[in-house]
Amino acid sequence: MEYFIILILLFLVTLFLETTFKVHLYNSIKERILIPIIFLVIGTIWDSFAVYLGHWSFDYSKMIGIKIGLLPLEEYLFFLIVPYFILTFYRVIINKMEKKSKKNKNIK
């Protein structure tokens, strides 16, 4: 359950950043659906292969207990939420840096 709660909190932080700083990652609904699906597919293949080979495993005592294939539900959510957070956070930083740069140019 711990992992799930952390992911939900990260998702809520991301929504807050996106709305507060008016960050737009995607130009269309199609992009908003397609890009996360690409992350999900690549991450699922990568993780499933690693779990299958025994390179890593999951502590199910910290999970909600839903398993799809070789992976817990939280891992699928991870592939959707973490890239969304990283890209949103990156855009917030870039936007802030661009505004600061424009402000500094206007001062000179």
Domain boundaries, the chain: 30-100
- Per-residue pLDDT, 99: 85
Residue, of 12 and 100, whose pLDDT is higher: 12
Residue 7's SS3 state is helix
Contacts by 91-99, CB closer than 8 A, 24 or more apart: 91/21, 91/23, 91/24, 91/25, 92/17, 92/21, 92/23, 95/21, 95/23, 96/21
Q: At what angle do helices 73-107 and 29-53 cross, to 10 degrees?
A: 130
β-partners of residue 68 are 71
pTM value? 0.83
| Average pLDDT value for the chain | 91
Quick: pLDDT tens for 28-74.
Answer: 999 999 999 999 999 999 999 999 999 989 988 888 989 999 999 99
